Structure 1
Amino acid sequence: MGKKTINVEPETPFHTFTVEQVVEHYQTSILEGLSSEEAATRLQTYGLNALEGDGGVKWYKVLWRQVANVLVAILLIATALAFATKDFAEGSVILFVIVMNAAIGFWQEFNAEQTMEALRNMSSPTAQVIRDESRVTIPNNQAVPGDIMIFEDGDVVGADVRLFECFNFETDEALLTGESLPVQKNLSTIQNTDESLGDRLNMAFSSTTVVKGRAKGIVTSTGMKTQIGQIATSLMNVDSNEKTPLQKRLDKMAYCVFLAAIVLVIVVFAVHKFKYSNEVAIYAISVSIAIIPEGLVAVVTLTMAFGVSRMAEVKAIVRRLSSLESLGAVTNICSDKTGTLTQSKMVAVRMWFPKDGYYRVTGTGFTPEGEIYKQGEMVAGDPLAQEELVPNGSGSDHFLRALQVASLCNMAELRRTLHPETHGDWAAIGDPTEISLQVLAHKAGLAKPELIDQGFTLVAEFPFDSSVKRMSVLYQSPPSTSSAAGGHYIFMKGATERVLGCCTSYRAGDSELSIENEKGSRIAFEKMIEERMTILAEKGLRVLTLAYRKFDVQPDVDLVRGLKREEVETNMVFLGLVGIYDPPRAESRPAVLQCYEAGIRVHMLTGDHPSTAAAIAKEVAIIPVDVPVLNNPLIMTAAQFDAMEDDEVDRLAELPRVVARCSPNTKVKMIAALHRRNLFASMTGDGVNDSPSLKAANVGIAMGQSGSDVAKQASDIVLTDDNFATIVKAIAEGRRMFANIQKFIQHLMSANVAEIVVLIIGLAIKDADGHAVFPMSAVEILFLNMITSSPPAMGLGLEPASESNMREPPRSAKQGLFSFEVVMDTFVYGLAMGALSFASYAIVLFGFQNGTIGLGCNTEWSLECEGIFRARATSYTCMTLLILAHAINCRSLREPGWTITNLKTLEHNKMLWLSVVVGAFLVFPVVYIPGFNHNVFKHSRITYEWGLVIAAVILFILFAEGYKFAKRRLMKPIHLEGNGQLEMERMRTYMTDTSNQDSVIDDDRAVKEHK
């Protein structure tokens, strides 16, 4: 817009400004909002809309975590002992390893923390603003003074705003004022500049929560200039040091490893009859170093950071790290329908009115271009037969009144854009359902702006609430129109059963007839409506009901605050039904079938009619296409499910796959039922009332686009695209990450077990002074753990998902990293590598070198020690190549690792491939550089011993493949057989088995009578 920005002091009393003054002050427009260019300029001027504090990534805290641990303490002791014995080469190498380990860990963790900080910012509350004449969602920290901000029930107010439009708008300001009750807002200008915060009713303040209604306002202050910022509240701080269950399990493992290290030190001293010497002390330190996986923390940090980044790439923002570990255990997904399984591109395609019959509506999208055809009752199933075009702006009084309700009982806005690039295009702001009704009204010539221009004035609003599933508005009608005689009218829309319960009469053409004008007529009328609604719902249409009544105004009643909803929404006149189509997403059906492949069951919990829900559920494969809707235990209404006691629910052979007319309490009950069956559930939600179910679920998933901020804050994961397929991708990523952590832990711990085997058996080999001779030196051990083992472990942490990743059953929620199979593999492979490495050591020493053992061979080279030094080099080389070979082996628990097909897939993991290649080449400088080999690593160059090394590697590969083959034959398969079609067949079988039994399922009326 190119207008000048004004730097305003935080004390500016905007509550004393009129709306026009605030608009002039910030050079903005309540209709068009700011332009993107102007918003960017103001962001530079005013800064981010965020509270300052001590949050963020602190490098010194990350560095301290690298040095303040047991590993560093042990290495420092080893360094001190080396320098005390004047072994400066070994001491220098150990000190270098300490510094390098800290540097690598610092670099990885600091980058991981920065990644997490960025992702946390992405998952922070969002704001709905008007920019470039369109309603857009932006990160809350991008809001600037002058923005037009929109609030709805459940939102967290993102900045201080001066309200210019509100309906039944109430906020919870306890955070600022201590007032426990919600504060109802209005638009009146306040004269007193020193008015207390609690009495500034025309303002909404940052960080307060919308508990009711809706509003629009002009942003007046952001960041530290807001009221919450002025009292220095650090609500935006996030504790990035919170430990996840995985990290806690790793801490327990570290304590166990430390205890084992102490035991091994005692064993070393016991073998030497507890006689202290420098050599015994260094050997003890070497053994303790060998059992500790030095690179584990760094590898875990890198893997989790990579996993979070990968989740963000598939449009799933992780708010809690623990959810990454939980995803792999999910057994059941409870999903909403609208916008998650469907496209949320709603369009009204059918109507039905008593006497008039059915109408067909053409056109798609937001563009109000299309025609309305009257079909009548007899040809509803044939849209092309005997149709009559209804000209724009015409139709019966009944028809016009119904479309008037659709237009006015509606908060959506539809207008042509004025932006130069999209000039003339239609844009919509609001709920998709209301947008579809607004488009329908435009097609009928009853656009809301035109009706407002005619004199219709909004007096009061009772917004849609998930507990009542309807919305009502009170309008003052102009003195005379073609379809009204003036006065006040209540217009209502909502779920059929909730609207029908408020109706005592119905419109049939020009007449209004009582629903209960004779005995039993209400039941007959409801049955007739149910039949018409079922016809629409079976086409997969979401059915809304329209109603109205003339409202007699009492002179002593405040029409804004004095009306009670339960008194207003009575004696309504039923008008008709509107069928809205929301096509399923193309990726929903494949994603549901993929869930069945992975042993995950999908439940749809929706507010729609059972027939509508069932039709969409069949399209996306949640239930078979050929099962009936009535008396189907897989399909229930919330009334049916809620009416059942917990023990009745637990006796069901299977929980329903579709729950229609669902309420927030129904979602909580479903989660509780799943938990009683020891199942691991994820739940999606978007509204403030979904917070209890999101918290109760093992993994709460909020909608990033349509979700309220309260729902997002209660969730573990936020979907930025509101897409069901993204949930499946997130589960696949969670499984991949957990499997990779198991892979590299097995790799690291197997290497440690192998080193311990060599060192403990080596205690039996002593020199003439009775000192044990090191099969591997302390520097060799450190080099194996840090340089040889850690890079391949990092590569294993970055492994792509296996082909069977989503064809395996969910792991048990109680199963940790160390399953029986992982522990067994760790010891089996570790013992094998240790035995082969020590065998090569013993063959060289006693076979080729005649068992010659000199004195002081642990500290320096001599001619008498050449045999020990060559044997030690052989053992080290053998261990190095075995560890690298084992990295290839760890890519799968059971599948062959050394097939041509598997080796070709290494090109997808360059980190693992390079670490293996580089690790193998590093053997040569370590073994063959003169002086470096004798003085630092305490070994000599080898020649013919390479035959033993190669033989050991071949034997290990053969052993590993044979071991995996035995596991495939003897252990229970981990892959699920079959596909989604088998799950469909299982559901059909279940239906057959229960069809002849006394079903707990009945229709809504029977349930109500039972209650």
Structure 2
Amino acid sequence: MAKKKAPPAEPETPFHTFTVDQVADHYNTNTLEGLTTVEAESRLKAYGPNELQGNGGVKWYKVLWRQIANALVVILLIATILAFATKDFAEGGVILFIIIMNAAIGFWQEYNAEQTMEALRNMSSPTSKVIRDETRVTIPNSQAVPGDIMIFEDGDVIGADCRLFEVFNLETDEALLTGESLPAQKNLDLIEATEQPLGDRLNMVFSSTTVVKGRAKGIVTSTGMKTQIGKIATTLLEVDGNETTPLQKRLNKMAYFVFLAAVILVIIVFAVHKFQYSSETAIYAISVAIAIIPEGLVAVVTLTMAFGVRRMAEVKAIVRRLSSLESLGAVTNICSDKTGTLTQSKMVAVRMWLPSDGYYRITGTGFIPEGDIYRQGEMMPNSIDIQEEQVPTGSGTDHFLRTLEAASLCNMAELRRTQHPDENGDWTAIGDPTEIALQVLAYKAGLAKPDLLDQGFRLVAEFPFDSNVKRMSVIYQGPDTAKGPGDHFIFLKGATERVIGCCAFWRDGDVERSLVGEKGTERDTFEEMITDKMNLLAEKGLRVLTLAYRKFEPPPGVDLVHGLVREEIESDMVFLGLVGIYDPPRAESRPAVLECYDAGIRVHMLTGDHPSTAAAIAKEVAIIPPDVPVKGNPLIMAAGQFDSMSDEEVDKLAELPRVVARCSPTTKVKMIAALHRRNLFAAMTGDGVNDSPSLKAANVGIAMGQSGSDVAKQAADIVLTDDNFATIVHAVAEGRRMFANIQKFIQHLMSANVAEIVVLIIGLAFKDRTGNAVFPMSAVEILFLNMVTSSPPAMGLGLEPASASNMHEPPRSAKQGLFSFEVIMDTFIYGLAMGALSFANFCIVVFAINDGELGEFCNREYSDLCEGVFRARATAYACLTFLILAHAINCRSLRESGWAPQNLSTLKHNTTLWLSIIVGVILVFPIIYIPGLNHNVFKHSAISYEWGLVFVALILFILFAELYKLIKRRTMKSLTVPTNSALEMERMRSFMSQKDSFDLIK
């Protein structure tokens, strides 16, 4: 395929020497509006996708090689050579056809599966935030084009080379390109030197480097192979396409065991014949070896894995690592964030409290800046029949206006009108949901950020939100006055306990009162009052933010961008007030949590919110009982309390906390470690760059696809495209379904192999007139049973819908493999039963009906003397075919009856399974009755009254299977979890009543 040509001068254009306007003119773009969707699509065709060449992808020849480079094919090739050497061309041709067909089917299935899984993994590769049609959107990184306006934030992997035009404390890790270990501090200064080293092009950012601090906007100048990283043919982003999962490792071990068993069986066959080589003995030995190897296993596993990945994508969970599919079924604890995962992330400011004014109530929903503000005074926020006073837009007390100024300016969110109305009318928003809520509040008060900027406020410096300090601050210079330049102000917002510590004063109307009293009594009293007000709001499920400010005199000669110390700037602040923001829980969160309890999975909420806010939401979604107190509750902890405990103290806790508030990234890691020390299997959600350690430490790391940073996505095993907790539960259910189905079809395949071995090994006792063993079944019959009769139903079992008890069973042990004691026991018992019934029919036909005449050379060709053997062979073949097909229905459940009417009625939902059973039944008849095909290829004859024996064996097997399952249900431990949501709630209440637990927490 010819490469698409870009303008020849573009790759060498030194954009770092261009002004922002020159770059915008070069690409005919607008820094405020971005490109239109139509123009972006046109440029994508012209410049090609933003991808590096040589990323790999699926190699067809590697997939094909995996189909032919295995022990199965080697054994079949030996059988083919032996058949042709003994001039048994019919059998040799059939075996060769089986080899080709097996390789073709396996190649087709695995190649398509690999392509599907790679496409799905690519969906979770880094994304880019750009402005299209005047709206900020998130696009796959491959769709970024030159001229796009790209937005970068802390934790993002930069998707293309860009010329910066807006920078706030931006630092990027460029070690990949420059080898420099320290982050590069970016600015907008024009660089005149054309041949400037990459590390000195501070007004540019480069593809595949990482934002470690701050935020910025830039114009995309180069994409794909035209980027700096593309020029050195390197990629930071790796796709785990050919990893060997624990499941595959276990299957590989099984293959070695099966191969060893095949060798032993071959030795047994030759030992029975006193190690005297003959073509008859060799073919019999090969037949036995073929019988024990499940030829369709690889194809069935591939199909099941591909189907599992596709099903996960349908429920909005993108699998980045196949091993996570297997791990999900063992998850015992889920540690989830709150905002956007358990809640809707559609925050709206509904309450505000100021020391001098009391409470305010704010109306309106979403980020439509329409609503009213009412002053309530000191009445309780939920009081009825209180006197409210509406605050007109643009008015209010000085304290009120200064507070709303802080909410508006200490804020990076943007509200925009759009020409494409949606559920939010004609408004769109860009930024963090919390900041959007504050910005909407400022709009309602008539203090919108754009209006304040128009009045003359200018951003000087920014200290972005940090999950460790849980606050953000900005420095603004106010409007110029007739006396000279405007004053400088510092605005601060964040978690109450982190902001209070920065405050030395509090605003009381127009007066700023000191918090430094005798022996700190003034501060203690004030902090106690603030805590009461905050708790009152938080207990209503509101997330409480605190606002503060102070005037600032810049020290002479100090660089206001890089020369400031955050700790000094965020000190001696003036407390302004509290804002309560409500983020309603998702409707599906509570049912999903209750489903976890039914499945024996415990849910923990790890959030940055205040303990009261976190507890209120946790009660709404059933993480903790609704009627338990918050104070003194051992199930609810602040991160500071949890982090201060030693590992030994944590391990002594009778129950790990269900809610951890004010959580930091290190708290998440500590929680994962505590779960691991209890031998529990944990899934952890995360979205920020600082969440990467906990995502890596968890057994299953789950990143947020919408709000998550690219670093978090790369560290995760699974990416949720909808950031929804319920999706995690769906993924766990899918992981359980897939693991159970793999057990089902492995049991089915191996039971059939055991049955064939039973028939063939016992058949060694029967010798014909020449002293050679007589085949109860021919090699071609065995191959046909394995490939055509057994494999399609096994594939159907791999596609079985989840059972009704799927999410009512306890998590399997992480150490439990595919071959549990019950699965192994079932495999041998069912296999022995099928083999015994089939061999019994062979014996009845040969000895009871044909007087035991075994003829001679009956393994090689048909003769009148061999008629009895050929009819017996057809009877055994037909019997085993029907038993294998019936056994597929048994394998749908380990314990429950497969033949009960209610279970048979669900078979209609699995088209692959019931069709494979019907086709398997139909194929028996042409194989037995077509002349030439029966005698020369399959080495059997047409049968008549022998069908009575086949149907009797089938009925006996079904009765045996039902009796066996009944005994298991009566004698073995139940598979269903001994708890449910009601019992779990009662267990938590009972735990809280234990005094020792309270004492230990205290």
Q: Which range moves more in the overlay, 283-292 or 971-980?
A: 971-980
Q: Which residue of structure 1 aligns with residue 722 of structure 2?
A: 721
Once the two structures are superposed, the pairs formed by residues 309-708 of structure 1 within 5 Å of their partners are 309-382=310-383, 384-418=385-419, 425-480=426-481, 486-519=486-519, 520-708=521-709
Once the two structures are superposed, the pairs formed by residues 877-916 of structure 1 within 5 Å of their partners are 877-916=878-917
Instruction: Give 2:794's aligned amino acid.
Output: A
Q: Which residue of structure 1 aligns with residue 851 of structure 2?
A: 850
Q: Which residue of structure 2 aligns with residue 144 of structure 1?
A: 145
Instruction: Give 1:241's aligned amino acid.
Output: N
Q: Which residue of structure 2 aligns with residue 182 of structure 1?
A: 183
Q: Which residue of structure 2 aligns with residue 103 of structure 1?
A: 104
Q: Which residue of structure 1 aligns with residue 20 of structure 2?
A: 19
Cα deviation code 1:392-435 (max 9, x no counterpart): 00011100000000000000001212459999811110000000
Instruction: Give 2:730's aligned amino acid.
Output: K
Q: Which range moves more in the overlay, 38-47 or 424-433?
A: 424-433
Contact 2:240/2:321 (8 A) holds in 1: no
- Mapped to 1, the partners of 2:42 and 2:105 lie a distance apart of 40
User: Helix, strand or coil for the counterpart of 1:1000?
Assistant: helix
Q: Sort the Cα spacing of 1:335 and 1:7 in 2 relative to 1 into closer, same or farther, 3 A.
A: farther
Q: Sort the Cα spacing of 1:624 and 1:239 in 2 relative to 1 into closer, same or farther, 3 A.
A: closer
TM-score after normalising by structure 2: 0.98
Q: Sort the Cα spacing of 1:239 and 1:701 in 2 relative to 1 into closer, same or farther, 3 A.
A: closer
Structure 2: gaps (5+ residues):
1-5
Once the two structures are TM-superposed, the CA of residue 262 in structure 1 deviates from its matched residue by 0.3
Once the two structures are TM-superposed, the CA of residue 378 in structure 1 deviates from its matched residue by 2.7
- Mapped to 2, the partners of 1:198 and 1:716 lie a distance apart of 33
Contact 1:127/1:139 (8 A) holds in 2: yes
Cα deviation code 1:766-825 (max 9, x no counterpart): 112211000000000000000000000000000000010000000000000000110110
* Correspondence 1:773 to 2:774: yes
Q: Which residue of structure 2 aligns with residue 1009 of structure 1?
A: none
Q: Which residue of structure 2 aligns with residue 751 of structure 1?
A: 752
Cα deviation code 1:722-745 (max 9, x no counterpart): 000000000000000000000000
Instruction: Give 1:17's aligned amino acid.
Output: F
- Mapped to 2, the partners of 1:410 and 1:623 lie a distance apart of 34
Contact 1:927/1:939 (8 A) holds in 2: yes
Instruction: Give 1:212's aligned amino acid.
Output: K
Contact 2:208/2:235 (8 A) holds in 1: no
Once the two structures are TM-superposed, the CA of residue 554 in structure 1 deviates from its matched residue by 1.1
Q: Sort the Cα spacing of 1:8 and 1:721 in 2 relative to 1 into closer, same or farther, 3 A.
A: farther
Q: Sort the Cα spacing of 1:973 and 1:557 in 2 relative to 1 into closer, same or farther, 3 A.
A: same
Contact 1:79/1:92 (8 A) holds in 2: yes
Instruction: Give 1:47's aligned amino acid.
Output: G
Instruction: Give 2:46's aligned amino acid.
Output: T
- Mapped to 2, the partners of 1:379 and 1:288 lie a distance apart of 81
Once the two structures are superposed, the pairs formed by residues 106-121 of structure 1 within 5 Å of their partners are 106-121=107-122
Contact 1:6/1:26 (8 A) holds in 2: no
Contact 2:632/2:998 (8 A) holds in 1: no
Once the two structures are TM-superposed, the CA of residue 6 in structure 1 deviates from its matched residue by 6.4
Q: Which residue of structure 1 aligns with residue 3 of structure 2?
A: none
Q: Which residue of structure 1 aligns with residue 875 of structure 2?
A: 874
- Mapped to 1, the partners of 2:640 and 2:422 lie a distance apart of 50
Q: Which residue of structure 1 aligns with residue 198 of structure 2?
A: 197
Q: Sort the Cα spacing of 1:175 and 1:971 in 2 relative to 1 into closer, same or farther, 3 A.
A: same
Instruction: Give 1:488's aligned amino acid.
Output: H
Q: Which residue of structure 1 aligns with residue 994 of structure 2?
A: 993
Q: Sort the Cα spacing of 1:270 and 1:219 in 2 relative to 1 into closer, same or farther, 3 A.
A: same
- Mapped to 2, the partners of 1:943 and 1:515 lie a distance apart of 103
Once the two structures are TM-superposed, the CA of residue 98 in structure 1 deviates from its matched residue by 0.3
* Correspondence 1:969 to 2:994: no
- Mapped to 1, the partners of 2:958 and 2:396 lie a distance apart of 82
- Mapped to 2, the partners of 1:845 and 1:144 lie a distance apart of 77
Once the two structures are TM-superposed, the CA of residue 120 in structure 1 deviates from its matched residue by 1.7
Once the two structures are TM-superposed, the CA of residue 437 in structure 1 deviates from its matched residue by 0.2
Once the two structures are superposed, the pairs formed by residues 203-214 of structure 1 within 5 Å of their partners are 203-214=204-215
Once the two structures are TM-superposed, the CA of residue 383 in structure 1 deviates from its matched residue by 5.7
User: Helix, strand or coil for the counterpart of 2:1001?
Assistant: coil
Once the two structures are TM-superposed, the CA of residue 979 in structure 1 deviates from its matched residue by 2.4
- Mapped to 1, the partners of 2:238 and 2:474 lie a distance apart of 41
Contact 2:379/2:386 (8 A) holds in 1: no
Once the two structures are TM-superposed, the CA of residue 842 in structure 1 deviates from its matched residue by 0.5
Q: Which residue of structure 2 aligns with residue 28 of structure 1?
A: 29
User: Helix, strand or coil for the counterpart of 2:54?
Assistant: coil
Contact 1:303/1:794 (8 A) holds in 2: yes
Once the two structures are TM-superposed, the CA of residue 525 in structure 1 deviates from its matched residue by 1.1
Once the two structures are TM-superposed, the CA of residue 244 in structure 1 deviates from its matched residue by 0.5
Q: Which residue of structure 2 aligns with residue 292 of structure 1?
A: 293
- Mapped to 1, the partners of 2:449 and 2:67 lie a distance apart of 64
User: Helix, strand or coil for the counterpart of 2:518?
Assistant: coil
User: Helix, strand or coil for the counterpart of 2:811?
Assistant: coil
Instruction: Give 2:834's aligned amino acid.
Output: M
User: Helix, strand or coil for the counterpart of 2:330?
Assistant: coil
Once the two structures are TM-superposed, the CA of residue 79 in structure 1 deviates from its matched residue by 0.3
Instruction: Give 1:314's aligned amino acid.
Output: V
Contact 2:703/2:718 (8 A) holds in 1: yes
Instruction: Give 2:732's aligned amino acid.
Output: I
- Mapped to 1, the partners of 2:161 and 2:684 lie a distance apart of 33
Instruction: Give 1:203's aligned amino acid.
Output: M
Instruction: Give 1:467's aligned amino acid.
Output: N
Identity of paired residues, percent? 78
Once the two structures are TM-superposed, the CA of residue 524 in structure 1 deviates from its matched residue by 1.4
Q: Sort the Cα spacing of 1:401 and 1:308 in 2 relative to 1 into closer, same or farther, 3 A.
A: same
Q: Which residue of structure 2 aligns with residue 1005 of structure 1?
A: none
Once the two structures are TM-superposed, the CA of residue 518 in structure 1 deviates from its matched residue by 3.2
Cα deviation code 1:841-887 (max 9, x no counterpart): 01111011110110100000000000000000000000000000000
- Mapped to 2, the partners of 1:693 and 1:238 lie a distance apart of 21
Once the two structures are TM-superposed, the CA of residue 116 in structure 1 deviates from its matched residue by 1.1
Once the two structures are TM-superposed, the CA of residue 59 in structure 1 deviates from its matched residue by 1.2
Contact 1:51/1:236 (8 A) holds in 2: no
The Cα RMSD (Å) is 1.6
Contact 2:360/2:376 (8 A) holds in 1: yes
User: Helix, strand or coil for the counterpart of 1:922?
Assistant: helix
Q: Which residue of structure 2 aligns with residue 1008 of structure 1?
A: none
Once the two structures are superposed, the pairs formed by residues 237-248 of structure 1 within 5 Å of their partners are 238-248=239-249
Instruction: Give 1:509's aligned amino acid.
Output: G
Q: Sort the Cα spacing of 1:960 and 1:422 in 2 relative to 1 into closer, same or farther, 3 A.
A: closer
Instruction: Give 1:779's aligned amino acid.
Output: V
Cα deviation code 1:569-617 (max 9, x no counterpart): 1100110000000000000000000000000000000000000000000
Cα deviation code 1:209-245 (max 9, x no counterpart): 0000000001110000000001111444535221111
Contact 2:928/2:941 (8 A) holds in 1: yes
- Mapped to 1, the partners of 2:787 and 2:812 lie a distance apart of 31
Instruction: Give 1:39's aligned amino acid.
Output: A
Aligned residues: 997
User: Helix, strand or coil for the counterpart of 1:38?
Assistant: helix
Instruction: Give 1:493's aligned amino acid.
Output: K
- Mapped to 1, the partners of 2:801 and 2:998 lie a distance apart of 49
Q: Which residue of structure 2 aligns with residue 280 of structure 1?
A: 281
Contact 1:328/1:731 (8 A) holds in 2: yes
- Mapped to 1, the partners of 2:118 and 2:480 lie a distance apart of 59
Once the two structures are TM-superposed, the CA of residue 516 in structure 1 deviates from its matched residue by 2.1
Contact 2:991/2:997 (8 A) holds in 1: no
Q: Which residue of structure 1 aligns with residue 794 of structure 2?
A: 793
Contact 2:332/2:811 (8 A) holds in 1: yes
Q: Which residue of structure 2 aligns with residue 822 of structure 1?
A: 823
Cα deviation code 1:34-76 (max 9, x no counterpart): 1111111111001110000051111111111111111000000
Q: Which residue of structure 2 aligns with residue 71 of structure 1?
A: 72
Contact 1:375/1:383 (8 A) holds in 2: no
